[in-house]
Structure 1
Amino acid sequence: MPLIKLYFSPALLLLVLLCPLWQVSQSLPVMSNGQLTDSCGLYAKTLLQNITATLKQNNLFSGIDCSKQSVELNMETNTASVCAPKKSTCSGIVKSEFDQKSCLTNIGEDLQHYYKLLAAQPDPDSLLGPSVLSSLRELMKNCFAWSLPTDMASNEVAANRPSTYDERLSLCKVLKGFQIRTITINRVISYMKSGEHTK
């Protein structure tokens, strides 16, 4: 599974986070059948909050300054590009159409990818499972049910063993990438909720 390491300058990260066309505050995720629900919005917001809080857990990343590490994004999906708003200039390319089905498919694939990756991480202190994995599972179960792995319970097997330095370093980079992707997902769903994509 190809992962790419991205090094963000503070200015680029600020541009991504503050692009005026997308708003996080009104994020309401879309269910697989295309209907919006307020509860899905809460699940998505909770997931982002839990990822952000987990990245601040020193116990999870002992020996590593996670804030100074690079970001690893899932490059098997095209969520950022296919979910860009119509007439968006954030990426430098003006997009004339918005394909909601393709966007939702990519979001579901991202959620599934990160679930499988994070479920396989050692978590002896239960810092990851009850927060990030639990909120991710709730979002998937209630809003993107088709993306749930069929063997969900058997994926969570590494929880009680201690993690190695390399595993903690990788987890830090992956969680940073997941945080960025979750911000994108929240913004894109807010865009869909606004109805701008149908105009």
Structure 2
Amino acid sequence: MMMLSPEAAVCSPRVWKVVVFLTIALRLSSGTPVDKHHKIDVNKCLTLSKQLLDQVKESLTHPDVTEGFNCTDNVIVLEDFTENLTSTVRTCSPGQEFGRCEESGDSQECHFSSYQCYQNITADLQIYQAKLQNFSHITGNVCKHIQHLLKALNSDSIYEDTDFEGGSTTEDEEKHAIEFPQRMSLCKILQAFKLRTITINRVMNFLNDTKL
């Protein structure tokens, strides 16, 4: 596991994101199964992923996101914030993989790896956690639920000891409400994360039903 020095904890958000992405890239590139994934309670992860999706939807109704601004996936051009970093949709879609393997006749590629799927989901959660923590007075509860799911996945998340402030908006925060460009950015992140969380829910449903 990559160890972070005390200096890294106070680095700029841009440098911090680089550290996050490098850590994720190293984990995914290793390609080795993690033994602790054997201990995952998939049913618990399914419950937590549903709660996370509810929190994401609730955050999309926050006044700093919606007031005077139409934040819907119908009007927003969504961005894949995990592009070139994770491959959750492909890795966690066994039906598509099986069909492709049957056509190729390569039985080795037909094996669905729950380990790789869990690794990609973990990486997705960490990427969005890093982006959403900059809007903590709006997304604090979302970040807390991300952390709960990360722990259920037995992840050694680099945010494991982070306390996220969430809930109602304070008077000081209302005076410094985020401006339109930041609201647009937050809207895109939340809408993209909502879609990814829906995918995670479907994956957890599949894993819970098949007990993989």
What's the CA shift string for 1:18-51, capped at 9, x where partnerless? xxxxxxxxxxxxx833532433322111001111
> Structure 1: how far apart are the matches of 2:160 and 2:64?
31
**2:162 corresponding residue in structure 1:** 152
**2:153 corresponding residue in structure 1:** 143
- Is the CA contact (8 Å cut-off) linking 1:115 and 1:133 kept in structure 2? yes
How much is the aligned-residue C-alpha RMSD, in angstroms? 2.9
- Is the CA contact (8 Å cut-off) linking 2:65 and 2:183 kept in structure 1? yes
* C-alpha deviation, 1:59, in angstroms: 3.5
**1:5 corresponding residue in structure 2:** none
**2:71 corresponding residue in structure 1:** 66
- Aligned sequence identity (%): 27
**2:121 corresponding residue in structure 1:** 107
- Is the CA contact (8 Å cut-off) linking 2:118 and 2:153 kept in structure 1? no
Q: TM-score, normalised by structure 1?
A: 0.67
**1:83 corresponding residue in structure 2:** 92
Q: Which has the higher strand share?
A: 1
Give the 3-state SS of the residue equivalent to 2:144 in structure 1.
Answer: helix
> Structure 1: how far apart are the matches of 2:41 and 2:161?
27
Amino acid at match of 1:133: C
What's the CA shift string for 1:98-149, capped at 9, x where partnerless? 12111111100001111111011263xxx3213x122112212233432342
> Structure 2: how far apart are the matches of 1:121 and 1:57?
12
Amino acid at match of 1:70: V
Unmatched segments (≥5 aa) in structure 2: 1-16, 18-35, 102-109
Structure of larger gyration radius: 2
Aligned length: 159
Residue 134 of structure 1, aligned match among 130, 133, 144: 144
> Structure 1: how far apart are the matches of 2:133 and 2:41?
28
> Structure 2: how far apart are the matches of 1:150 and 1:138?
9
Pair 1:51 & 2:56 matched: yes
**2:132 corresponding residue in structure 1:** 118
Unmatched segments (≥5 aa) in structure 1: 2-30
- Is the CA contact (8 Å cut-off) linking 2:53 and 2:194 kept in structure 1? yes
* C-alpha deviation, 1:66, in angstroms: 0.5
Residue 177 of structure 1, aligned match among 185, 189, 192: 192
Q: TM-score, normalised by structure 2?
A: 0.64
Give the 3-state SS of the residue equivalent to 2:135 in structure 1.
Answer: coil
Q: Which has the higher helix share?
A: 2
More off after superposition, 55-64 vs 175-184: 55-64
